[in-house]
Amino acid sequence: MPQKYVDVDTLKYMLYDVHNLEGLLNRERFQDHDKESLDMFLESVKEFADREMFPYFKEMDEQPAYHKDGKVFVHNQVKTMMHKGGELGLISAPFDYDDGGLQIPLMTQTAAYYILDAANNHLPGYAALTQGAAELIVHFADEKLKETYVSKMLSGIWGGTMCLTEPQAGSSLSDVITKAIPTEEGYYHISGQKIFISGGDNDFAENVVHMVLARIEGAPKGTKGISLFVVPKNRLKQDGTLEWNDVTTVADFQKLGQKGYCTTHLGFGDKEDCRGWLVGEPNKGLHYMFMMMNAARIAVGRGASAIASAAYYASLEYANERPQGRKLSSDGKKNPDEKQTLIINHPDVRRMLLQQKSIVEGTMSLTLLAANYYDRTATATSPEEKEKYHQLLEMIIPIVKTYPSEAGIQAVNAGLQTLGGYGFCEDYILQQYYRDIRIFSIYEGTTGIQSQDLLGRKVPMKNGKVLELLSGEILKTIQEASAFEELKTHAQVLGGKLQLTQKVLGHLLPHAMQGNYERYLADASVFMEFMSLILMGWMWLDLGTHATRSLQEGGDYSHEFYNSKIHTMKYFYTYELPKTTGLSEILLNTESLTIKKDTEPII
Amino acid sequence: MPQKYVDVDTLKYMLYDVHNLEGLLNRERFQDHDKESLDMFLESVKEFADREMFPYFKEMDEQPAYHKDGKVFVHNQVKTMMHKGGELGLISAPFDYDDGGLQIPLMTQTAAYYILDAANNHLPGYAALTQGAAELIVHFADEKLKETYVSKMLSGIWGGTMCLTEPQAGSSLSDVITKAIPTEEGYYHISGQKIFISGGDNDFAENVVHMVLARIEGAPKGTKGISLFVVPKNRLKQDGTLEWNDVTTVADFQKLGQKGYCTTHLGFGDKEDCRGWLVGEPNKGLHYMFMMMNAARIAVGRGASAIASAAYYASLEYANERPQGRKLSSDGKKNPDEKQTLIINHPDVRRMLLQQKSIVEGTMSLTLLAANYYDRTATATSPEEKEKYHQLLEMIIPIVKTYPSEAGIQAVNAGLQTLGGYGFCEDYILQQYYRDIRIFSIYEGTTGIQSQDLLGRKVPMKNGKVLELLSGEILKTIQEASAFEELKTHAQVLGGKLQLTQKVLGHLLPHAMQGNYERYLADASVFMEFMSLILMGWMWLDLGTHATRSLQEGGDYSHEFYNSKIHTMKYFYTYELPKTTGLSEILLNTESLTIKKDTEPII
């Protein structure tokens, strides 16, 4: 196994220097925290990850979670993740003090989980989903339900899941048919099937609390008739003991990657004795679920970025140790008498490493920016401020979920290629990262769905005012960068890309205005890639500006550290951002080739 | 398992209508063949693939080849592939009648293996490597060696391998250190280690014939001191029986994919009793090996394209069967009362399928074009003709190897994404194609190495005259297409891309002229992608021209068939070819960011 999976200096640099976490700590909610205490938290997380997670990464792939006799068996470290992780506050940290939490900012939480995901992405999901499920209860359920479930979940004694997807519906939640029939006792009888339920069962937790979307008898069709229920695997009896609640693990899914993170098919009410408790009001289930969705989407982007980080350091280590071939001399030949060079000295290998680094650190910055918007929304001191940061978060969230996932696949792919034939072998870890990361562009709404959200809902939001708001933020960075002679060109380039975005939207929006939404959204995935690169250009200009300023005015890190950020920014502007030129050409097309017509030839 | 893995109609259309195989059949070498007989051969191959290969595809992944007690154990179908495949002529087909072959064109051979690779890519390599090893013996070894080995190999009784890579050298063949010490008996004592040897051993073949690169004692350093040897696992004694030749299977490599196709680490001469027989002259080993390399590189491109084909049909089948979601109405909403639509009707899914189809069929055409050049070179009736097609083949070969491999990964990736969460599950086959295809951009010279070959050796060949020759061929297609009103725009676009290539090279070549080869080649991989897309634009314009002509003048296939080719051409020109605009911008950069300088920051 390689030595390093994340650069904690870079993570802290992003938190404090780039995204000004300290500026948040004077908010009332966070007033008990300072840089020192939060850094201690991060350090304890890193120690935990080093000791309890990273060493088991390969093993968890080789010994997948499995389903047998209606039970799911998982690796022992799942227990450690939940119990010791629970003690460490890994589940409870962002909750209110009143609910047993530490009120830490989502930025810190994101940095902490970045470390966990990079160390061993098969484990953090167990804790993160429990946290998400508990959050739904805390925010929307009544006191009784809170009392029953929350503390057990935050300590990691009980697990939690989100049950959305059904076999016949897939991503189309309006087709959810799991039934909820009210009873006079106050609870509902639940019956139905849910698939792709991560962490759906395991052999260590004495209970798993499922947050289930279901339709109350007689509810309207579509998304407006969906309610949210707490459906525990085992229900609490009056005497405080647990009895089985007719939740069955029907099967599990064996997968390409993340094999240690179980994915299950659950059946509710096969014996007609499955009880569910309504959370909040009827028919608002999807609304509640979506209130949690932004944090969930930040988490997906973060996880993908973190896996790409681990893959990057693994391939960097290899490139720094592996001698092969020779550098070209000025006659274009190689001299066999010369000693072999390390492969990191070959420009093509260096290009692949810089590609990885630019994706890893750029997406790390993007997910922390999203967490920053989240924290600012949650702790806003005025309605205007709240609205502003909520809108900014809404605008970027589909990109925060998607770009790290899609570009992360490319980054890990480049990492694997760096190892040549060894990259394809199970003795080396790159092939596992290659498999693990592949799920992220499917999780929590596929890239196709996120792209429809970006172009279909977010871009037109408030008649384009929210996009303007975001552009304003980007223009601020352009202005700051322009103050440095060495960044002027990059600032100009990014300004040009904003204008190009306007041109592209000027071409696309008329389709929507004419009611041709299908055509408007047909190339949404291409627009996603286009706009993601521009947002990454923004991230890198910002990183370059901070590094340039610190080089001139001094900072906590070495010159090498700052120079490497500036060098990677240059890489991104030279090798990645120009791809937007071709993508804009695609987006400006006047065809409708992907829209089915009656005369459409077979494909 | 899905039903279909290759479209034989499209394959035949490419062979006969697009690449005019019949035009080759009047050559003396091929005069016994006609379309009917070759089609019969292809049909028997398809039947064999349907019956003996495709049904075992998943099983071979789930039961990988493995190494135990110095032996390698493989799936039973390997025996079928070699023995029944041998009977069918799958190893011998391209050889001379005198050597036991059928003298079939490489084009037909390529189409046949395309079917095999698409059916089950874990199997054809055993036969193909045996064929390649036999070819080296036939072309360069003396009669005695030919008599000893060739007929057993062509019938599939004995296997064959190519032993190039060594642990300390990787792709850098100039660092090969396997030793060959001459003896008075005429053979050499061989000692050394070879890694990544595909088909290196198995439990069914009574012998495996290794073609080994080694250095005769006292030979010059570098690539000029490498000789080629036949080193059988078991050597033939005077009495006709076999005795062990001190070739050991030290270990195997367990891999991300192609698990049924064993990859071994071989040791030669551990007991100082390994005998090798020199093939041809000393120190010409690499030269001989490279004479076979073009066919080997066509084979890699073909294999990747074939896997992408199988993945395409698997995801197409899913998309045609899976209902999910609804089409958007003119108010941008979906009506939950409406029936669910099949996912193939969603533009984003259709886009992914068209991307796959454009890559699959475009690369199928490209590999058949390369085989056509190969056949024309081999059977040329004048030195000028021979030179012309040899040069054309040399020019395109790095792209033929690389683009199907790299774009094939993207195509399979889109195929997996089409299935959403199911794509990530082992119950569905996409995840296996995703793993299997990943090796192709590493096999037979990585993408980085092929890119250096393209820009470093091929583009400057004969002072650019060979590139001009290729441009001339492309211009012919542009001219033919321009005769059709509906293709004029596409023809013009491709013409513009040729000019853009000149501009890019005008920017890059001065680096080489100034002796700065490292800078000249630094972005070779980007140039590879750029030029690959232009070659694919050529393939698709050609396919579009043939289809348009057949629609007007009549042809053997349906209107739907031709229209689908034209539609896919339009897709390629709208969604893929424009990427060259961004890539050219990257190539025109004036930086040297990937070249290590003394002051380089850590990356």
Residue A109's pLDDT is 98
Tell me: the pLDDT tens digits for B249-291? 999 999 999 999 999 999 999 999 999 999 999 999 999 998 8
Residue from B172, B259, B334 to probe the interface with A (highest A Cβ count within 10 Å): B172
Among all residues of chain B, which has the CA nearest to that of A333?
B517
Give CA–CA dist A196/A166, Å, rounded: 8
C-alpha dihedral over B23, B25, B26, B29, to 10 degrees? 140
Give CA–CA dist A6/A14, Å, rounded: 13
Instruction: Using an 8 Å CB-CB cutoff, list chain A residues near B446.
Output: 417, 420
The secondary structure of A459-516 as a DSSP string is TTGGGGHHHHHHHHHHHHHHHHHHTSGGGHHHHHHHHHHHHHHHHHHHHHHHHHHTT-
Instruction: Using an 8 Å CB-CB cutoff, list chain B residues near A255.
Output: 424-426, 431
Q: Point out the least confidently predicted range of A70-74, A365-369, A441-445, B1-5.
A: B1-5
* B169 pLDDT tier (thresholds 50, 70, 90): confident
pTM value > 0.90: yes
Question: Which of B327, B340, B446 is closest, CB to CB, to A420?
Answer: B446
What count of CB pairs under 8 Å joins A to B? 280
Whether residue B518 and residue A328 make contact (CB cut-off 8 A), yes or no, is: yes
* Catalytic status, residue B361: no
Whether residue A567 and residue B591 make contact (CB cut-off 8 A), yes or no, is: no
Give the DSSP letter of residue A595: S
Whether residue A586 and residue B574 make contact (CB cut-off 8 A), yes or no, is: yes
Whether residue B326 and residue A172 make contact (CB cut-off 8 A), yes or no, is: yes
* CA distance to partner chain B, nearest, from residue A396 (Å): 21
Whether residue B348 and residue A425 make contact (CB cut-off 8 A), yes or no, is: no
Give, in order, the Cα–Cα distances in Å from A12 to each of A24, A515, B13, B299, B603.
15, 47, 59, 49, 18
CATH of the domain spanning B293-324+340-587: 1.20.140.10
Instruction: Using an 8 Å CB-CB cutoff, list chain B residues near A253.
Output: 425-427
Whether residue A453 is predicted with pLDDT greater than 80 in this model: the reply is: yes
Contact present, A202 and A65 (Cβ < 8 Å): yes
Rounded to a whole number of angstroms, the CA Rg of chain B reads 25
Domain positions in chain B: 32-291, 293-324+340-587
Give the whole-number percent of chain A exceeding pLDDT 90: 92
* B336 pLDDT tier (thresholds 50, 70, 90): confident
Tell me: the pLDDT tens digits for A566-599? 999 999 999 999 999 999 999 999 999 999 886 6
At residue A350, the 3 state secondary structure works out as helix
Whether residue B583 and residue A583 make contact (CB cut-off 8 A), yes or no, is: no
Tokens 């450690």 label which residue? A80
Whether residue A521 and residue B594 make contact (CB cut-off 8 A), yes or no, is: no
CATH of A32-291, one of 3.40.50.720, 2.40.110.20, 3.30.413.10, 3.40.1020.10: 2.40.110.20
Q: What is the rounded end-to-end Cα distance, in angstroms, of chain B?
A: 45
Among all residues of chain B, which has the CA nearest to that of A563?
B601
Contact present, A104 and A30 (Cβ < 8 Å): yes
At residue A264, the 3 state secondary structure works out as strand
Cα A407 to its chain centre, rounded Å, is 12
Among all residues of chain B, which has the CA nearest to that of A259?
B425
Nearest C-alpha neighbor of B529 from the set B447, B415, B588, B474? B447
Give, in order, the Cα–Cα distances in Å from A265 to each of A204, A208, A262.
18, 14, 10
Q: What is the rounded end-to-end Cα distance, in angstroms, of chain A?
A: 45
Residue from B322, B348, B405, B509 to probe the interface with A (highest A Cβ count within 10 Å): B348
Whether residue A435 and residue B435 make contact (CB cut-off 8 A), yes or no, is: yes
- Average pLDDT on B322-331 reads 81
Give CA–CA dist A69/B144, Å, rounded: 64
Assembly ipTM: 0.96
Give CA–CA dist B405/B302, Å, rounded: 9
Instruction: Using an 8 Å CB-CB cutoff, list chain A residues near B557.
Output: none
Helix, strand, coil shares of chain A as percentages rounded to 5?
60, 10, 30
Cα A552 to its chain centre, rounded Å, is 34
For residue A304 the two structure tokens come to 């993908």
Give CA–CA dist A245/B265, Å, rounded: 55
Whether residue A336 is predicted with pLDDT greater than 80 in this model: the reply is: no
Contact present, B117 and B306 (Cβ < 8 Å): yes
Contact present, A521 and A508 (Cβ < 8 Å): no
∠ CA A594-A597-A601 to the nearest 5 degrees?
80
Question: Which of B325, B516, B525 is closest, CB to CB, to A348?
Answer: B525
At residue A384, the 3 state secondary structure works out as helix
* A92 pLDDT tier (thresholds 50, 70, 90): very high
Looking at the domain A293-324+339-587, which fold is it?
Butyryl-CoA Dehydrogenase, subunit A; domain 3 (1.20.140)
Measured from the Cβ of residue A331, the count of other Cβ atoms closer than 10 Å reads 9
Instruction: Using an 8 Å CB-CB cutoff, list chain B residues near A560.
Output: 601-602
At residue B181, the 3 state secondary structure works out as strand
Give CA–CA dist A339/A326, Å, rounded: 7
Among all residues of chain A, which has the CA nearest to that of B452?
A348
Give CA–CA dist B76/B56, Å, rounded: 10
Give, in order, the Cα–Cα distances in Å from A367 to each of A299, A534, A537.
8, 15, 14
For residue A35 the two structure tokens come to 């840089």
Nearest C-alpha neighbor of B571 from the set B284, B303, B354? B354
Nearest C-alpha neighbor of B265 from the set B70, B523, B93? B70
Tell me: the pLDDT tens digits for A147-177? 999 999 999 999 999 999 999 887 788 889 9
Marked catalytic residue, from B444, B486, B576, B600: B444
Contact present, B21 and B108 (Cβ < 8 Å): yes
- Average pLDDT on A401-416 reads 98
Instruction: Using an 8 Å CB-CB cutoff, list chain A residues near B526.
Output: 575
Residue B344, CA atoms < 13 Å, CB-side half-sphere: 18
Give CA–CA dist A84/A47, Å, rounded: 12
Instruction: Using an 8 Å CB-CB cutoff, list chain B residues near A420.
Output: 170-171, 442, 446
* B524 pLDDT tier (thresholds 50, 70, 90): very high
Residue B174 one-letter amino acid: S
Q: Element (H or E) spanning B190, and its range?
A: strand B188-198
Contact present, A391 and A454 (Cβ < 8 Å): no
Nearest C-alpha neighbor of A533 from the set A500, A561, A508? A500
**Mean residue pLDDT across chain A:** 96
The strand ranges marked E within A237-320 are 242-244, 247-252, 263-268, 275-278
Contact present, B396 and B387 (Cβ < 8 Å): no
Cα A487 to its chain centre, rounded Å, is 30
Nearest C-alpha neighbor of B393 from the set B370, B366, B419, B375? B370
Where do the H-state alpha helices sit in B337-442?
Answer: 347-378, 383-418, 430-436
Tell me: the pLDDT tens digits for B49-79? 999 999 999 999 999 999 999 999 999 999 9
Sign of CA dihedral B396, B402, B406, B409: positive
Question: Which of A165, A330, A522 is closest, CB to CB, to B515?
Answer: A330
Tell me: the pLDDT tens digits for A17-50? 999 999 999 999 999 999 999 999 999 999 999 9
For residue B536 the two structure tokens come to 């694919």
